[in-house]
Amino acid sequence: MTVLPGIYMVARIDARNFTRLTKEVHKFEAPYDDRVRDMMMKTVSHLMQCGFDARFGYTQSDENSLLFNRDETAFGRKLRKLISILAGEASACFSLLLGAHAVFDCRICQLPSLEHVVDYFRWRMEDAHRNALNSHCFWLLRRQVHSASDATTHLRGVSRAEKHELLFSSGINFNDLPTWQKRGLGCYWESVLRHGENTVTGEVTESEGRRLVVDLELPMGEAYDKLVLSTL
């Protein structure tokens, strides 16, 4: 099976058993740990540079999303090749960074328009926000000597406003938490001018290149939409 021409592709690459891997096997800080953030950031950066025409990368929690140029032709747009290679690249990269076995799976989202592309990344950012609020509430309760099942039960049916109040009553203002926890991280290419020198004439030269930017302060709303669209 192949992705039809003119269709935008977003690869969604998720970690397997990530909570167990990062909270039980390796005992990282909960709910967020800068070391895990950095490993996910380096993984999505690697995916942006592993042989595909990737334009925008996004990571939050245990997932990476990779937006390709609409006219990407790698491997003839064959789904089985895209899925297997991207899952393998992510698994290998994260495992090397962690120093232990880690596994990612992959699926390809086929999006017919730019509107659907924007909706997809808006959806993932909203998921990041929901995950951050739930995770901070859950681990606050865990630190108050609640079991995992009791903490889950306590939060069932609790509104967003009530979760904010739960955190605030314990001295945590959710709005003041790091932006990357609430919105995820972005990864995209930026144009740069490179200066050099002609070795024959000694003349100073300029050439246009690009560099990969990792953005820990993603904007929201229309500004985020424009950022995503600007990468294509």
Neighbours of 132 (CB within 10 A): 22
* Cβ–Cβ < 8 Å for 48, 54: yes
Any idea what the CATH number is for the domain that residue 111 is in?
3.30.70.3000
Q: Note whether residue 48 is domain-resident.
A: yes
Cis ω before 31 (30° cut-off from 0): yes
Q: Note whether residue 189 is domain-resident.
A: no
Give the structural domain span for 27: 8-182
- The residue-averaged pLDDT of 111-124 equals 98
For residue 179, count CB atoms less than 10 angstroms from its CB and return exposed for 0-12, middle for 13-18, buried for 19 or more. middle
The pLDDT value recorded for residue 192 is 86
Our count of domains for the chain comes to: 1
The pLDDT value recorded for residue 19 is 86
Entry pTM: 0.91
Q: Note whether residue 56 is domain-resident.
A: yes
The pLDDT value recorded for residue 120 is 98
pLDDT digit string, tens, across residues 85-99: 999 999 999 999 999
Is residue 188 helix, strand or coil? strand
Q: Note whether residue 218 is domain-resident.
A: no
Q: Note whether residue 113 is domain-resident.
A: yes
Q: Tell me the two tokens of residue 45.
A: 């950066």
Q: Note whether residue 128 is domain-resident.
A: yes
pLDDT digit string, tens, across residues 13-36: 999 998 889 988 998 999 999 999
Which stretches of the chain are DSSP H helices?
A: 18-19, 34-47, 79-98, 114-143, 148-155, 160-169, 179-183, 221-230
Q: 195: pLDDT confidence band, cut at 50, 70 and 90?
A: confident
pLDDT digit string, tens, across residues 131-175: 999 999 999 999 998 999 999 999 999 999 999 999 999 999 999
Q: Note whether residue 207 is domain-resident.
A: no
Q: Note whether residue 12 is domain-resident.
A: yes
